[in-house]
Structure 1
Amino acid sequence: MNTSPTKRRSRVRTALMAGLVAASALGTAGSALAEGNPLEDRPYYQRTAYNEQFSTWEQCSPQSEEFRFRFYYRQNYGGAWINIGKSIWDLKSVSDGSTSNPLYFCGGPNDGMGQIVANNAASAYNWFEGYCGVVYYYKGYGAGATDTQFDYFNPRSGRNLGPTANNNRSIQFIGC
């Protein structure tokens, strides 16, 4: 069967477009499945001092699939920030599996960069799907806290911290 060059180009274009649409759909499905699970326990690998930087780059990355909750140093998502990817019992004593150190703000503008996250965050955003984040006034997920000493973040929501503004000591993720 002999087809004209125009018909062959049209078939090739149609096949290429179908391939691109299929690849795009697979890429979208793949990225949705790549989201981290904040209920998994994994260590935060961090050096002992801020100026030594972090060995987990996703904590400081502008976007992360594993670390999808972000604390900000200033209100209205301003200043330095850090990405969080699991529940943390005490932001002043985060374990990397062998040692414990404070967690530090690392990304964004210099305002707040290098400051300890515990008792220094003013706003937060939760990008997780299906997981809520609860920020507590006390370490240990609010052990001994009253009903008003936490901030609750639904999936894909954020705001300025309320009762825990500059008094945030732990964060816990729950399915919601």
Structure 2
Amino acid sequence: MAESISNLQGLLFQLSEPIRKTILETPYTPPETGNISVKAVIDQLLPDKSSRPDSNFSDTRIRNSIKDFSLACALLSSARSPTHELLSWIPLSVSILAESAFCELSKAHCVTFSETNARKIAELGLNYGMMTEENRLIAELIPQVLPSLKDIIQESSVDKSDEVNEFSAASARAPVGFAIVAAYQFRWF
């Protein structure tokens, strides 16, 4: 299993580099109205380019890397038809590259974690054998990513029940740009 995890870690680095390179080369000017850099968000979700494959890479750490990489792919794939200026700078070629990378990762993930994946899919009441590798990985990730995406969206919204302190409640929350990014990721999942 350790060798499989190491191979999966290497694949994550391999798949993320062309995405990172293309994103870095793509012209980007953050919108004046926003205080979020989507480029920085994507870069943070991709495996750290300075770290190298590690034979002591734990199961938990690889799963977190897979989750983050999948969130990056979800955001980039969502940019195929953006309705918000925050994602309009992402070229179609990067969206396609992210979709292809997610597909390749999901195949490797299903090989490495087939037993665990099958059990988790069954716990969700889904038929493992009838699902594509991509849908298997998505189904496994949904319980992890949806609550955190929902929290990000809620942090960026004004709580209408707190009408007395509405201004301070809104100013203490995360920038709306994070909610927009999370909403696109949420929709993709």
When normalised by structure 2's length, the TM-score is: 0.22
When normalised by structure 1's length, the TM-score is: 0.23
Greater fraction of residues in helix: 2
Greater RCO, CA 8 A, separation 6+: 2
Greater fraction of residues in strand: 1
